[in-house]
Amino acid sequence: MTPALLGNLGVSLALAFSLLGLALSLLAYHQGDGRFLKGAKALVLPAFLAALTAFLALEWALLTHDFSLAYVARNHSTQDPLWVTLVTPWAALEGSILLWGLLQTLYTLLASRKPLDPWRAALVLAVLFGVQVFFFGVMATIASPFETLPNPPADGTGPNPLLQNHWMMAVHPVLMYLGFVGLSVPFAYAVAAMVVRRYQTWVGETRWWTLIAWGFLTAGKVAGMWWSYEVLGWGGYWAWDPVENASFIPWLLSTAFLHTAIVQETRGAFKAWNFAFVTLAFAATVLGTFLTRSGIIQSVHAFAEGPVGPAFLGFFLLVTGLGLGLLSRVSREVRDTAVFRLLSREGALLLGAFFFAGWALVVVLGTFYPLLAEAFTGVKVSVGAPFFNQASVPIGVGILLLMGVGPLLPWRRPRAEVFRNLYMLLAVLFLGTLLGLLRGYAFGASLAVGLFLYNTAAILLLVREGVLARLRAGLSPWGFLENRRRVGSLLVHFAVALMGLGIAFSQTYRLESEKTLYRGQAWEVGGVRMEFLGVRALDEGRRFAVEASLRTDRFGEVRPRLHFYPQMNSPLPAPKVVYTPGNDYYFLLMDFDREKGEWASVRLIVTPLVFWMWVAGGLLALGTLYILWPAAGREEVKGVSPA
């Protein structure tokens, strides 16, 4: 047995089980026969095991340097450290599709355990098996991770050095895929709900899945931002790059869905919006993969050359067509008849969802316009960061404004005390902005201070209301913490406000300076004094590193590096970042004296409040975990929670 044989067997079996599962689920629905459903369910575990076998076969091939596999020859070298070898399955297209397929079978396995009426269970399984058929079908035909080479090389080139330069690459793609795949479950439930015309319960039944998927997407995005900050050497974390945009779009749409789902769960409204948002969010994950994996970003012509791009585009159209087609069929039945007030919780939630969806539209337009323009006119145009920033700032401000007030508004209509709270919050916003201006900050940064304080005040008001209501009812105030959605979402909202502050300051204020220093020469910049001690070269096997030593007065000795990989013409920077709550100090080695090591060009980038963005990332994860954590015992007292 060889890894190629085992891998191909795994992929073929996973495809066969998924196809059979799809057929049996559809039969179960059409015939109303429980035996077919049982048969379909029985195939879920074998499909997962087959996918796992294929995945382990790829790991086996990598660990044993089996260069007869084209994937291993292209993405692995004998010099790779163990951790890089272990994460190489998701370093390129075919392996990533295998990981996606494996995670999909895992989610199908978990989702199939949930009790559900047989009609919907059959349809949910049909959709999930259908997704599996696509992925394993792609692997079995046009993007096989187990394609063999007639003349295997003695060694390979290793994965893209950018991926080897930071351990974050081990986790970021997995988090993203866990999020992408997770959205398939609420999508499958939505399809089932529309087919059987039972529109209400699916949002509650899939809330856990939505939150899990959203939580992974959020964690994946923050991890990606941090990776870009630590590895790319430009001292930023977001560049509106198409690859970043590709995963931002499903994140925005799933955030919209997360919020409109709350309204359906609580008030039975926004059914149509929920069907639309969950379809678009899942479809956007496929679109994102199409965008990043079809080669279309490098050139629209690359898309036409390989079959993977058209396959993903076709699948995207299929998913969108299925969800929106069904929605148009049932649109009369799911239409909202009630009128909503803007100044109500549902009003704020819907308006917020429009902001998220509008933002997604802006990102789609900005990302696809250059591709379409090139395809139709042959002229390369680019939509740069200024376009995205200009459109995003007002949307971001709108979201931060709504986020503070939304949870404070009662359902249906505002009460008198709500207006008191609103005036108070507006006063905080105004005073906070004024405070920023008085301290000499730019208007944008001052507004961010105002918005941060406004959101913090809103959160304190909510906590106060919740605690007071319990005290009035003679209950322990700590019981407030048991309202997991309320407390967790307050933590998440606080994290968003903190991130807004970090983004505003780090984008507005940034000091960047570069100097060539001779050995023993000192340089004072950005409040740091440094002395260049020299450079040293290190042969690390798979790469060659050059390290500059700088003695600083505040952070001791710092050693930024340049990494030279044999497969790259220019070196990759390995900055040394000193994180502090006020400023980040980002030391970069730009160039050095290759003969005697007597001089080095050093760049220092000082950016404020970036540290808090990573703290906010941690709080986002913590808040989501808090919501998801199973409640110990329920103490339901009517009228006590302000919710």
CA–CA distance from 555 to each of 518, 552, 578, 582, 599 (Å)? 20, 6, 8, 14, 21
**Residue span 242-281 as binding mask against ligand HEM, x where in contact by CB under 6 A, dash where not:** -------------x--xx--x-------------------
Tokens of 270: 């926004």
User: Using CB under 6 A, which of 345, 542, 561, 603 touches ligand HEM?
Assistant: 345
Reduced to 3 states, what is the DSSP secondary structure of residue 514?
Answer: strand
Nearer CB in complex with ligand HEM: 123/258: 258
Contact 481, 634 (CB under 8 A): no
Query: Minimum Å distance from CB 550 to ligand HEM?
Result: 38
The 3-state DSSP class for residue 573 equals strand
Contacting ligand HEM (CB under 6 A), which of 492, 501, 517, 535? 492
Helix (H, G, I), strand (E, B) or coil at 603: strand
* Rounded distance between C-alpha atoms, residue 69 and residue 76, angstroms: 10
- CB nearer ligand HEM, residue 604 or residue 621: 621
CA distance 260 to 272: 10
List the end-to-end C-alpha distance of the chain, in Å, as a whole number: 60
Return the range that interacts with ligand HEM (CB under 6 A); candidates 161-169, 237-245, 472-480, 490-498: 490-498
Is residue 627 within the footprint of ligand HEM (CB under 6 A)? yes
**# binding residues, ligand HEM (CB under 6 A):** 25
Which positions from 128 to 167 touch ligand HEM by CB under 6 A, shown as an x/- string? ----------------------------------------
Distance from C-alpha of 401 to C-alpha of 476, rounded to nearest angstrom:
32
Q: Which is nearer to ligand HEM, 330 or 397 (CB)?
A: 397
Strand partners, 511: 606
For residue 114, count other CB atoms closer than 10 A to its CB. 14
User: Site residues for ligand HEM, window 495-524 (CB under 6 A)?
Assistant: 496
Torsion angle defined by CA atoms of residues 232, 496, 289 and 14, in that order, rounded to the nearest 10 degrees? 120
Contact with ligand HEM (CB under 6 A) among 93, 181, 403, 458: 403
SS3 299: coil
202 binds ligand HEM (CB under 6 A): no
Cα angle vertex 211, ends 216, 108, to 5°? 80
| Binding window for ligand HEM (CB under 6 A); candidates: 119-127, 167-175, 275-283, 341-349 | 341-349
Interface with ligand HEM, residue 74, by CB under 6 A: no
Q: Is the dihedral of CA 532, 533, 534, 539 positive or negative?
A: negative
* Shorter beta-carbon distance to ligand HEM: residue 104 or 245: 245
Nearer to ligand HEM, 316 or 340 (CB): 340
The number of CA neighbours under 13 Å toward the Cβ of 75 is: 27
Binding ligand HEM by CB under 6 A: which of 407, 414, 575, 617? 407
Q: Does 399 bind ligand HEM (CB under 6 A)?
A: yes
Q: Interface with ligand HEM includes 348 (CB under 6 A)?
A: yes
Positions touching ligand HEM (CB under 6 A) are 207, 211, 255, 258-259, 262, 345, 348-349, 352, 355, 399, 402-403, 406-407, 485-486, 489, 492-493, 496, 624, 627, 643
